[in-house]
Amino acid sequence: MTKLSVNINKVATLRNARGGNMPDVLKVAQDCERFGADGITVHPRPDERHIRRSDVYALRPLLRTEFNIEGYPSREFIDLVLKVKPHQVTLVPDSPTQLTSNAGWDTKAHFTFLGEVLDVFNQAGIRTSVFVSTDAEMIEYAAKAGADRVELYTEPYASAYAQNKEEAVAPFVEAAKVARRLGLGLNAGHDLNLENLNYFYQNIPWLDEVSIGHALICDALYLGLERTIQEYKNCLH
């Protein structure tokens, strides 16, 4: 069964736009769980433009499903994750000012750095995932560095889906096979939505987890959060 982890960054963005606590990020996270989400994802950035460090600390004791913290492994990020001890940490190569994740790691070029960081988290008992493209070599070096899982960056699939979905998914199927051969768990995320998620799942049914935020929150504006989460979960059957 592929799990749905809801990224609540956009909820925090809306809250921060006006100050105060509307919407309540903690309550939304708990509601997502109540409505069927299998996990919650947050991506705290240095400028705290959406999820704040205080949110991360406050969420940990409240959540009953899997908690996934993603981000660039700066010293501050590493310290935060080690204190909070989520179920999973996902390493992304984002710069501090980056709007959103838009590429996977060059795991070969950053092999030593990633290996050192992954070792720290592995010793702490936190499952590790590395954000990668479909390049087989990048997946292989993630495995060599000590990752438990890789997360496939799916924006290229989403962008090409409408033109030719078979061609769009093909490199991801091959990448997923490489990950499985290497004994890696497999996550996916970025621009997956109600239109393209089920086809992706049909072609890679051994996915462990998809992490979805922007599209899901946008759909919730029209459908409501509870129905939206159920619609996304229905895509994973």
Query: Which residue carries 């899901």 as its tokens?
Result: 216
- 27 by DSSP, 3-state: which? helix
Q: How far apart are CA 128 and CA 3, in angstroms?
A: 16
Active site residues: 43, 70, 190
Q: How far apart are CA 6 and CA 16, in angstroms?
A: 19
Residue 70: partners with Cβ closer than 8 Å, 6 or more residues away: 41, 42, 43, 89, 90, 91, 92, 131, 211
Strands (E), 30-177: 39-42, 66-71, 88-91, 127-132, 149-153
User: How open is the CA angle 162-106-2, to the nearest 5 degrees?
Assistant: 50
- DSSP track, 160-196: HTTT-HHHHHHHHHHHHHHHHHTT-EEEEESS--TTT
From the number of C-beta atoms within 10 Å of its C-beta (0-12, 13-18, 19+), residue 70 rates as buried
- 155 by DSSP, 3-state: which? helix
Q: Report which of 140, 149, 132 is spatially closest to residue 92, judged by C-alpha positions.
A: 132
